[in-house]
Amino acid sequence: MDRVLINVPKQVTRGVPFEIKILVSHPMESGQRRDQMGQAIPRDIINHFVAMLDGELVLEADFFPAISANPFLSFSAVAEKSGILTLAFTDDKGEVRTETAAVTVG
């Protein structure tokens, strides 16, 4: 999860849904594969995702295997005023990555 790309429109309209697009670099190792020595490769996926807008929950999701590496997430939100979008990703290693993006209501 060393790189996260967040795409939010430069300006959004009050009360009108806008699209948030996210790319996260992550191997999303399914746990089903074996290495060249026949050893199982342990599962390592992003298993939890939370999006908050100014402290208010926008989307919370549990992830399971069968999501590709470097997943692409897209969802809609509605904002009443400008604020900070906070995204938190948790993976199987327990690493939590938090990213923020500004949402500007114009």
Partner 1 sequence: MKIWASLAAAVLALSAAISPAAEPRRSGYDDSSRETQAMQDDDAGNPAFLWVRQGEALWDQDCKGCHGAAGTLRGVAARYPLFDPRANRLLTLEQRIVQCRTDRMGAPAFAWDDERLLALSALVGLQSRGLPLNAEPREPFLSQGEALFRERIGQLNLSCAQCHEERAGLRLSGATIPQGHATGYPAYRLEWQGMGSLYRRLRNCLNGVRAEVFAPDSPEAAALALYLAVRAKGMRVETPAVRP
Q: List residues near partner 1 by CB under 8 A.
A: 2-3, 5, 7, 21, 23, 25, 27-28, 68-70, 72, 74
Nearer to partner 1, 2 or 62 (CB): 2
Which run of H or of E encompasses 58?
Answer: strand 56-62
Q: Which residues contact 55 (CB under 8 A, 6 or more apart)?
A: none
Q: Decide if 80 contacts 63 (C-beta within 8 A).
A: no
Nearer to partner 1, 34 or 57 (CB): 34
CB 55 to partner 1: min, Å: 25
CB 18 to partner 1: min, Å: 13
Of 48, 54, 59, which is closest to residue 85 (Cα–Cα)?
54
